[in-house]
Structure formats: C-alpha cells, structure tokens
C-alpha cells in the first residue's frame, strides 16, 4: 500500500508551492507537513464509511468538519469524480483544503463555516457527512439540524462509542440519543451500527416513516 494518498498529497504540494510540476519530495524538502495525507484506509471506521457511501452512490457531498482529513482523503481517493464541498471552522485547515483544489483536485471546494451556523440552502447536497464532529459541538443538535436540512437524501454520522481522553470531546452519545436527535432534526429513517469504539449512523432525509 502507498504511504500517501499520492494524488492528493501532490496536489497539496503544488497548490502550496504554486508549482504545477512539484512533487511530494519537493514538498518534503520545502518543509511542508504531509503526514495528514498518510493512508488511513485501514481504520475500520473509515473503511465502513467508504463502504456505506459506495452503497449510497452520492451525486454530490458536503463533508462537515473535515479537520485533518482522516475521512476526507480516503473519500476523495475512493470517489475521484464526486463533487465534494469540505467545510471546517479552522482557517488553516480550510487553507490547506483550498491548496489541494488549486493543485489540481477540481472536484473539491473548501468553505470556512461553523457547523452550528451553516448557511447553505436546504437540500443543497445529495449526501452530507458529519464524521467525528458532533462530539466536539457545544450545540450538536443545531449542527445536526443544519446538516440534515442541507441534505437531499442522507446524512452519515460517526461518533465515538466509548469514553476517551480527548479534551475536545464534549459529548458521548448513546444510540437512543442519536436517534432522538436525528428525528428532531428532521430525519425520517435511522439506522446505526458499531465499528470498533465508534457508532456510525445513516439518517434518511425527505421520506416519511
């Protein structure tokens, strides 16, 4: 298996260096931090989310809270032609995402926005993902409501299922809590499964129970 998501890492380097011929080696020599592009396909939760998305066959996707790209880079590698809007509140992370687009990944759009105050029109994206995001939110219900409002068909959610020592994790959701939150947010159907210390939920949008 390759060490990096090569096409994505190369695009990041080219976007950052503004050199269409730059390589990963050039990026490393320039001191760019490329560890975020290391392959994490082996993570069970990443593998399962990619499998779920293959089954959903999205026409467009909004990834809420892309962060360092633990899910985003495998997603882009698995769906190279899928229009993906990547959203994060952190300015530097959005800048990194924009560099990937500038460097050649034209299907990726980066947006700086707070998940708790999203400004997308309703039903703007076929599928919306919130992957290891809700546990960070002071108001997770608002974030979920906004995500479901932006989705035409499905929202896919991943959260930890066991306590951990991450000080940024503010919540630990039970399956029942997630289902109630999804219903209050406008979801019409809900399915959940468990993957090594994580819960992955798929919420159907726009269909009666």
Q: Where are the beta strands (DSSP E) in 23-181?
A: 61-64, 84-88, 108-112, 125-131, 151-160
pLDDT given at position 128? 98
Alpha carbons within 13 A on the beta-carbon side of 205:
24
pLDDT given at position 2? 66
Q: Is residue 104 part of a domain?
A: yes
In which domain, by residue range, is 104 found? Answer: 36-205
Cβ(138)–Cβ(168) below 8 Å: no
Q: Is residue 84 part of a domain?
A: yes
Which residue is associated with the tokens 């080219």?
A: 14
pLDDT given at position 105? 97
Residues in the chain predicted with pLDDT less than 70, given as ranges, are 1-2, 40-41, 207-209
* CATH number of the domain to which 95 belongs: 3.40.50.150
Q: Is residue 171 part of a domain?
A: yes
pLDDT given at position 50? 96
Quote the CA–CA distance of 92 and 114 in Å, as a whole number.
14
pLDDT given at position 163? 86
Q: Is residue 4 part of a domain?
A: no
Give the chain's domain count: 1
Instruction: Tell me the whole-structure pTM to 2 decimals.
Output: 0.93
Q: Is residue 103 part of a domain?
A: yes
Closest CA to 71 of 150, 162, 15, 5: 5
Q: Is residue 23 part of a domain?
A: no
Q: Is residue 102 part of a domain?
A: yes
Q: Is residue 139 part of a domain?
A: yes
pLDDT given at position 209? 42
């Amino acid at each position: 298996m390759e060490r990096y998501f090569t096409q994505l890492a190369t695009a990041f380097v080219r976007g950052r260096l503004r050199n269409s011929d730059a390589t990963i080696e050039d990026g490393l020599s320039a001191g760019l931090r490329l560890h975020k592009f290391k392959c994490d396909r082996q993570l069970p939760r990443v593998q399962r989310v990619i499998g779920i998305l293959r089954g959903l066959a999205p026409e467009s996707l909004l990834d809420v809270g892309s962060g360092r790209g633990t899910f985003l880079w495998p997603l882009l590698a698995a769906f190279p032609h899928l229009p993906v809007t990547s959203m994060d509140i952190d300015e530097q992370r959005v800048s990194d995402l924009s560099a990937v687009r500038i460097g050649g990944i034209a299907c990726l759009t980066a947006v700086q926005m707070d998940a708790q105050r999203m400004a997308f029109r309703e039903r703007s994206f076929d599928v919306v993902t919130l992957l290891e995001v809700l546990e960070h939110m002071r108001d997770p219900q608002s974030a979920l409501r906004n995500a479901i409002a932006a989705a035409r068909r499905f929202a896919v959610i991943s959260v930890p299922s066991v306590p951990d020592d991450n000080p940024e994790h503010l919540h630990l959701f039970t399956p029942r809590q997630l289902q109630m939150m999804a219903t209050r947010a406008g979801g019409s159907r809900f399915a959940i499964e468990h993957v090594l210390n994580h819960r992955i939920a798929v919420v159907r949008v726009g269909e009666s129970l």
